Amino acid sequence: MNDSNAARIADRVEKIARGDVRAVARVLTELEQTRSTETRDLLRQIYPLAGQALVIGVTGSPGSGKSTLVARMALHYREAGLKVGIIAVDPTSPFSGGAILGDRIRMQALASDPGVYIRSMATRGQLGGLSAAVEDALSVLDAAGYRMLLLETVGVGQDEIDIVSTAHVTLLVLVPGMGDGIQAIKAGVMEIADIFVINKADHPETPRAERELRSFLKMIAREDGWNPPLVKTIATTGQGVDELINLIQTCHDFQTGRQDTRKKAVQRQRLLRLVSQRLVSRIVNSVKPEELDHLIERLDEREIDLDSVLEELVRRAGIPPTEPQAS
């Protein structure tokens, strides 16, 4: 890195640490588009400045009112004088590659508040419902002084599970009358939730949904000893949101001091995921599209097997072959 680049990056880091909205927006855009060497160097310098925010994951099925609930929570934290960052991970448009719900219509009431930063990020086909850039975006907002970070995910069932690698407290939002309890149990999402929220609790099916969830919660035995609570909310009116906020703090306080094992496991998972992404990118970029098409044609004609294609791609990427371990 030459002196001019170093000075430019230092200036950008200083602006982000000062909470400069334009500087924050610029780096988040870079994270979604292309990771230049400068962007990676910037993230390296930002990383030590982060780690002070509380990240709250909000997941659940589409139509459960997640965005409305997130907006209510943001208003509550703003009333307490805290800066709030909201990242909404949305489906990727098949045409533009951007977030389909990029305007976040339901959060427009917060848009004029300088203490709230809202950003939509596209999943871009990433498994787990989370964009590859989300974790870095959270670090940027953290470094910029946003102490409450609300991460709303796309709501795609079992693919949401990766949120546990990012959020400190995870909310699973369900709505009565849509079979959400059964759907969530089948998807396995129940296992990642720290707090269960029955939103739209004025629905006549609420008592039934509550009974089903409480029955299931009796079967959950977490290793950390936390018993996930259930809270009923009506996000449109704010009913139950104060109780939810208190439960989030209670959960976070409970986890403080008990997080060492979980933190290490989460960091390990994140590291391995990034290694996988980096290696895949390196392999894909090492072969021309027409060469890949040729290999696929040979594969389709049974002239070569999958393992041989894999070895060829790895060889072209310059990655040393791994020798099988002796038993």
- Express as a percent the part of the chain with pLDDT over 70: 78
H helical segments located in the chain = 3-17, 21-33, 37-46, 66-79, 134-143, 180-187, 206-217, 241-255, 260-285, 289-300, 306-316
One domain, residues 293 and 241? no
pLDDT tens digits for range 104-139: 555 666 778 899 999 988 755 444 445 568 888 999
The CA distance from 263 to 167, in Å, is 11
pLDDT recorded at residue 43: 92
One domain, residues 236 and 178? yes
pLDDT tens digits for range 268-324: 777 777 787 778 878 888 888 898 899 889 988 888 888 888 888 888 888 887 665
Nearest to 46 by CA among 161, 128, 144: 144
> Tokens 């299931």 belong to which residue?
216
> Tokens 């496991």 belong to which residue?
265
One domain, residues 106 and 160? yes
DSSP classification of residue 234: B
One domain, residues 157 and 114? yes
One domain, residues 172 and 216? yes
Residue 39 clears pLDDT 70, i.e. is over it: yes
Nearest to 16 by CA among 85, 88, 110, 90: 85
pLDDT recorded at residue 52: 92
The answer to whether residue 28 sits within a structural domain is no
> Cβ atoms within 10 A of the Cβ of 227, count?
10
pLDDT tens digits for range 173-210: 988 876 655 555 555 666 778 999 999 999 999 999 89
Average confidence (pLDDT) over 18-44: 89
Last residue of a domain, one of 258, 277, 294: 258
The CA distance from 287 to 123, in Å, is 25
Average confidence (pLDDT) over 201-220: 88
156-175 CB burial, b ≥16 within 10 A, e <16: bbebbbbbbbbbbbbbbbbb
pLDDT recorded at residue 96: 41
One domain, residues 116 and 177? yes
The CA distance from 253 to 296, in Å, is 53
Average confidence (pLDDT) over 166-177: 88
CB proximity list for 105: less than 8 A, separation 6 or greater: none
Average confidence (pLDDT) over 64-87: 94
pTM of the model: 0.81
- Express as a percent the part of the chain with pLDDT over 90: 37
Write out the two tokens for 227: 């018993």
Q: How far is Cα of residue 246 from the mean position of the Cα atoms in its chain?
A: 23
Q: Give the model's confidence band at 94: pLDDT under 50 very low, under 70 low, under 90 confident, else very high.
A: very low
Q: Give the model's confidence band at 161: pLDDT under 50 very low, under 70 low, under 90 confident, else very high.
A: low
One domain, residues 173 and 112? yes
Higher pLDDT pick, 48 / 89 = 48
DSSP classification of residue 104: -
Which residue range(s) make up the domain with 296? 265-316
One domain, residues 79 and 135? yes
